[in-house]
Amino acid sequence: MVGVTTGRTNTGLRIRRPPRAECVLDGHPPAARTRQDGGLRRQVVGIHPYSFICPRFSQDWMALNRPRSKRSDPAMTTALETTPLTCRRSEDGIVSVELSSPDRPLVILDRDLLSRLEATMGAIHETAASGGLNGFLLRSACSKVFVAGADLREIDALDDEALLDYLAEGSRVLGLISSLPCPTVALIDGAALGGGLEIALHCDALICTRTSPSGKPYPIGLPECSLGLLPGWGGTQMLPARIDPTTALGMIIQGKPAMSNDLPAGLVEATVETPGELEDAASAWVSGHLDSTRDDAHPRCLEEKHPGVIQGAVDRLRSEGGSSQESIAVLDAVETGLQNDWAAAVAREQQHLVNLRNSESTRARLEAFFQKQGS
């Protein structure tokens, strides 16, 4: 939850994925596959199988097969235009939201942003209740990052009880994304760290650029353990549900993000070359999943993986000497998710985070982090 590519697997949808010069989907050849995807059952093919022969054909086909809905209701559109976060609804019924931190150089997931996100999501849920929502896109207003992470100073200023309340409130707000009754996509073209990745993982799909607008790869991951903490908004449950569990738990325990040009398989649904291609790729993904039904209000988590696979990864990491306080906490949170449910696992994560931040080792790392930021 803290911080300053790759298609979804095992998802319950049947998708044909031809390789395209302008949009590489997972690096996989065209193939039909069945997946279980974030509680969404998918049936519709989103990309024409002949697109690998003629990219222009693919572009035209996707344009013709964008989601269709009734034209925008003026009252509905006005409600979305007055939300605290920039929000727009297309003629196709796809709503886009831009995350922003107006008084900061980067987008940071703090109490203010959570409050504005909650109000914005309230208007979007009202739109959904009226039948005016076919898809949801989440992106950043910042050209440097998607979300750089949570505000560590804000978090550290809270006492234990207040911090638990804050983490629980954050979980509730992020749940407003995962509970939307439509396909949801996070559009990433800059660093997504800690809470920034966790908010993205509350979407059904992630689509990212291979590099930032500056042409450099950027980090995507959960670096909390590098500070003696652990994710607090479901990261230990969501990341292993999308990628190889041993790889996911290794990334979390080491606190080492992946880079956008070399992402583990399953983390993102597609990669594109430029930010300008993100929305078209996301809209095409949404159009391929319009016949979805949602089974759960929570995001993709360990419930969707075979428990033996997850437990095997936990046992392997324990045998390799995962004895630091933060690694013990991460593995315990994962096992809680295996033995119980999403809510119990996230509550366990959050209790561990509060306990860890008071330890001598974590205090030393946090103070060094704050001093470095202040210099």
Q: Is pLDDT above 70 for 136?
A: yes
Question: What proportion of the chain, given as a percentage, has pLDDT over 90?
Answer: 71
Q: Is pLDDT above 50 for 33?
A: no
* 12 within domain boundaries: no
The secondary structure of residue 263, as a DSSP letter, is: P
Condensed to tens digits (0 to 9), the pLDDT of residues 3-13 reads 443 343 334 33
pLDDT band, very low/low/confident/very high, at 297 (cuts 50, 70, 90): confident
Least confident of 34-38, 159-163, 281-285: 34-38
What is the rounded distance in angstroms from the CA atom of residue 181 to the CA atom of residue 298?
Answer: 12
* 75 within domain boundaries: yes
pLDDT band, very low/low/confident/very high, at 61 (cuts 50, 70, 90): very low
Q: What CATH number did the domain enclosing 366 receive?
A: 3.90.226.10
Question: Residue 52's CB: how many other CB atoms inside 10 A?
Answer: 18
* 13 within domain boundaries: no
Q: Is 226 helix (H, G, I), strand (E, B) or coil?
A: helix
* 9 within domain boundaries: no
Q: How far are the Cα atoms of 143, 264, 281 from residue 273, in angstroms, in the given order?
A: 15, 18, 11
Nearest-10 Cα torsion for 293, 299, 301, 305: 20
* 104 within domain boundaries: yes
Q: How far are the Cα atoms of 11, 26, 190, 207, 238 from residue 274, in angstroms, in the given order?
A: 26, 16, 11, 11, 27
* 17 within domain boundaries: no
Q: Is pLDDT above 90 for 1?
A: no
Looking at residue 337, its amino acid is G
How much is the mean pLDDT over the chain? 83
Q: Is pLDDT above 80 for 212?
A: yes
Burial of 23 (0-12, 13-18, 19+ CB in 10 A): buried
Q: Is pLDDT above 80 for 137?
A: yes
Q: How much is the pLDDT for 75?
A: 54
Could you tell me which residues come within 8 angstroms of residue 117 by beta carbon, excluding any fewer than 6 positions away?
Answer: 85, 97, 99, 173, 176
Structural domain total, the chain: 1
Condensed to tens digits (0 to 9), the pLDDT of residues 100-132 reads 999 999 999 999 999 999 999 999 999 999 999
Contact between 370 and 152 under an 8 Å Cβ cutoff? The reply is yes
Domain span at residue 226 reads: 23-374
* 87 within domain boundaries: yes
Q: How much is the pLDDT for 303?
A: 85
Looking at residue 330, its amino acid is V
* 67 within domain boundaries: yes
Q: How much is the pLDDT for 321?
A: 74
